Structure 1
């Protein structure tokens, strides 16, 4: 779909265009992350043991799911470029291949979640009751995985063609069902036994299949989608190779980002139940805040990819600049809210005083963490719009895994444990040394990642401009 010549449009036009698509994506993302918020809050009010089981199991599941989801999100730039070039039948074919990919990835994900003890070797001694809760939570989520990954193909399709409100509506409604089934399964209502953390996993599985059914119904009853002739078709290896060529490094980038949270949770468990609970609140808030730059990044990347598909490179560049501006301003506003509302936020998360004390100490660094996280997020999404994924993955491995995660382990739990104590006393007084060291190094890694990604983005934009002129 060709847009008017970009030189006739002011900067404000691109800002408004991104915001018009980003707000439903943001609401949808918040609705999705609300599952984790609800699980954390309800498990926290059940018991500290249930909160620890849920925190550790959720870290494992999120690592698996987000990595696989990233592979499927290769559909977004692929479909967006087809849509921008008005190749509508190719949109439908690409979506069908994405469904096949999602089903195949579900088998891989299930296999990795069947053996939680392998993951828990990083956590030292874990109470047997907590370990049992983790095992049953993950078994329930294996049932959710095929539905959740297939629904991401619907999400990718709707996002790529600038119609995200369908997914937003479904995700909002699903919150009500999630809360209800959590209440039933966690606390043992309507004659069922109280399942604790495992009940949170079972409720996620039930809601995942309900959500997928609603998504398929919506695609089949909206006339807009008729032009794409959506269908499953047969697996097509060249199409699968295109998805995997872009999707594997994208999934790797997603995995690198989320592994910082997942392995941090597993390592922080060494410092005890209360530190784990405080860290979980910090992680949950960081993930919730991340939804803003992610939503803008997805909207901006979709619109940029549409412009690339239409061979309108000036529009692609201006859309990217508008996205960066929105994210920078939004991150500053979010950081302000985190500082001003810390006490209220903590009361909403837990009744346990010791957990709240740990969380309050860690939250002192969250505003700065979010600013760096937001900027590296928009940088990575803009590169994906150009179907550039391998180099960003390598840059993020160096910054987020090398400096952030490994550096955090080295200074927090490894041979140099305690080295950052003077810095912690200054910027995070009262925070446990291991957890605080992990968060400080994660912040440093995110800052480096943002700088490297933007440097490479500038190189890619200049290369595309030269190619178009030739």
Structure 2
């Protein structure tokens, strides 16, 4: 591959240039959740708990399926780096079929929320009813969300992310308008609360897919790939699933900590549940910076691997790690010094705010290890290494973080971690605090082991000089 196809500038500069559209797109996407929480938080505690539980269930399903679709990123990027545009375009078409199949599975799981809510103990009938309505709307939104992810993944793989960014930014304005209308009512529509937030997402997601479809049909960078859907081919689906299933499993494990924490913390009552949702939203918002840097790093690294420029792939990865560390430290300054202002943006409910401020004390610690886990996992995926991260995540994030958090927070060992919780987050509910402390410990250990495996991968490579 010629030097013109791969970046000739310093890797850190190229990563930053390509990551800021991903960052803005990611922030625009997470603003949906922040907007829902903030706006529903100004209705009543029942709606806020319903949306907290419903959002946790939806995110668990969506992120797991999205991870499978994101197998397109290293696959398309390596074809693109190897100057095989036709194969890249064909891979996208196979991703469309996979997205449609996964949509059916995901939508079915959202229509039966009682399975998920069983983890939350006694839930008020009014809350359960609103959760069901919220998830029914999102079940109809899921196909458009996953299909749009095939466009997002392809754009990221070929470093053409500005169009997707514009679509995501534009969607925020429409989400705000539909949220105001559906949540609070008006123009002949009765207030819908949490269900209205889901209905607004349904409308906007299909609008985003229409805009994305228009973009890939007209933008030269996409038309050069000869994007085509064609017929589903089992060989191609197997290739996608071979990489996508462990990636989806990894994504699922990462998000399950948040989802199951929300379901378990509901046992502590409405106010704790609302505070949990605020911290989860904030951590997700902060995660967008390391994720955007990691996606850009992984895309450039995969392109270099496809071009067999292994020294360039190594440089891209190491520069990406450095940028993520710097970004995490800068983010933590905001988390440390602006906690009161942040909570005030989310809720007017005094009891929710008090618990949220207590929980937020762990946010800087958690975010740092969340960022390290993100970059280490994404770099390995650039080399199409997905099984090892998945196995480590199953054993550590699930075993130590999730199951350990339940055991010490709400299970037979409840209360044993109270001194540690009091040190990290004085005044926080012991159960919720334990879940966050154990989740952080799982992220820290997993990150260190993933970095060790990345070092092992680099030692096995013999880059051309």
User: Smaller-chain TM-score range?
Assistant: over 0.9
Q: Partner of 2:346 in structure 1?
A: 349
Among candidates 109, 114, 137, match of residue 111 of structure 2? 114
Among candidates 303, 307, 320, match of residue 306 of structure 1? 303
Distance 1:297 1:233 in 2: 31
Among candidates 403, 421, 424, match of residue 424 of structure 1? 421
Partner of 1:70: helix, strand, or coil? helix
Indicate conservation of the 8 Å contact 2:100/2:143, yes or no: yes
| 1:387-436 per-position Cα deviation (integer Å, ceiling 9, x unaligned) | 00011100111221111111100110000100111122222111001000
Among candidates 136, 143, 156, match of residue 133 of structure 2? 136
Answer with 184-193 or 73-82: which moved more: 184-193
Partner of 1:230: helix, strand, or coil? coil
| 1:157-207 per-position Cα deviation (integer Å, ceiling 9, x unaligned) | 100000000110000000000011111111112111111101101110100
1:182 and 2:179 matched? yes
1:214 and 2:211 matched? yes
Q: Partner of 2:223 in structure 1?
A: 226
Indicate conservation of the 8 Å contact 2:421/2:434, yes or no: yes
Among candidates 33, 37, 53, match of residue 36 of structure 1? 33
| 1:276-308 per-position Cα deviation (integer Å, ceiling 9, x unaligned) | 000100000000001011000100000000000
Distance 2:309 2:4 in 1: 10
Q: Partner of 2:54 in structure 1?
A: 57
Q: Partner of 1:296 in structure 2?
A: 293
Indicate conservation of the 8 Å contact 1:2/1:85, yes or no: no
Q: Partner of 1:445 in structure 2?
A: 442
Q: How many residues align?
A: 465
1:362 and 2:359 matched? yes
Among candidates 91, 96, 116, match of residue 94 of structure 1? 91
| 1:99-152 per-position Cα deviation (integer Å, ceiling 9, x unaligned) | 110000000101111110010110000111110010000000011000000000
Among candidates 387, 407, 412, match of residue 409 of structure 2? 412
Taking structure 1 as the reference length, what is the TM-score of the superposition?
0.97
Distance 1:310 1:132 in 2: 54
Distance 2:83 2:379 in 1: 21
1:340 and 2:337 matched? yes
Partner of 2:461: helix, strand, or coil? helix
Q: How far did residue 4 of structure 1 move?
A: 6.4
Among candidates 35, 45, 48, match of residue 48 of structure 1? 45
Taking structure 2 as the reference length, what is the TM-score of the superposition?
0.98
Indicate conservation of the 8 Å contact 1:361/1:431, yes or no: yes
Q: Partner of 1:381 in structure 2?
A: 378
Q: How far did residue 231 of structure 1 move?
A: 1.5
Indicate conservation of the 8 Å contact 2:293/2:323, yes or no: yes
Q: Give structure 2 stretches of 5+ with no counterpart.
A: none
Partner of 2:41: helix, strand, or coil? helix
| 1:39-67 per-position Cα deviation (integer Å, ceiling 9, x unaligned) | 00001001111110000000000000000
Q: How far did residue 322 of structure 1 move?
A: 0.4
Among candidates 392, 395, 411, match of residue 395 of structure 1? 392
Distance 2:113 2:442 in 1: 28
Q: Partner of 1:3 in structure 2?
A: 3
Among candidates 253, 262, 267, match of residue 264 of structure 2? 267
Indicate conservation of the 8 Å contact 1:36/1:284, yes or no: yes
Q: Partner of 1:325 in structure 2?
A: 322
Indicate conservation of the 8 Å contact 1:77/1:302, yes or no: yes
Distance 1:2 1:123 in 2: 57
Among candidates 164, 168, 173, match of residue 170 of structure 2? 173
Distance 1:161 1:224 in 2: 8
Indicate conservation of the 8 Å contact 2:73/2:156, yes or no: yes
Partner of 2:416: helix, strand, or coil? coil
Distance 1:229 1:239 in 2: 17
Distance 1:3 1:409 in 2: 52
Indicate conservation of the 8 Å contact 1:2/1:84, yes or no: no
Q: Partner of 1:163 in structure 2?
A: 160
